[in-house]
Amino acid sequence: RAESILLDMKRIQKRSGYATALPNSQSYTNAILAWAKSRVQNSPKKAHEMLLQFLDSYENGELPSGSEPELYAFNGVISAWARAGKPEKAEEVLWRANEVRTKCTSLVADVFTYNSVIHAYLREPDESYGLKKILEIVDYMNGNCNEQAAIRPDCFTYHCVLRAWDR
């Protein structure tokens, strides 16, 4: 339903030319979160596709002035992939958020974002692969937390590392 509302907003804007009818970052984020929280089959994929549409609209200048991608949208898609047991897809979204961050004034991934991916890898059936990926992400966090203070590893981060080693 949320997706059809976004499409309606785009159609109205094209027909009328009213900039206020354009979907903005909140419109996209709400539609993405609706898919991300859904229990419908393929909902993580739909949320991810909608996030990519949102990013395309942002990068093509099709959003109203001042609209930028929101961390909630990325976190929602990451959580959806994690619940679906797809940590690689969750990680893909994490690195995309990190890439988009350099183009935005307000998007800042935080320790919660990184921890969500780390926690997803705890459920990886190949335990050595899961540990390897967790350590790579934690190394990135440690190596970049001076310039991105919000990604400084916390107790939960290290709790996940210990659980991964204990498996």
Q: What is the pLDDT of residues 59-117, one digit of tens each?
A: 998 888 889 999 999 999 999 999 999 999 999 999 999 999 999 988 999 999 999 99
- Indicate the average pLDDT of the chain: 90
Dist CA 73 CA 36 (whole Å): 9
Task: Show the tokens assigned to 103.
Answer: 């183009």
Least confident of 21-25, 66-70, 121-125, 138-142: 21-25
pLDDT of residue 21 exceeding 60: no
pTM for the full predicted model = 0.89
Give me the percent of the chain exceeding a pLDDT of 70.
87
Residue (of 137, 28, 151) closest to 101 by Cα position: 151
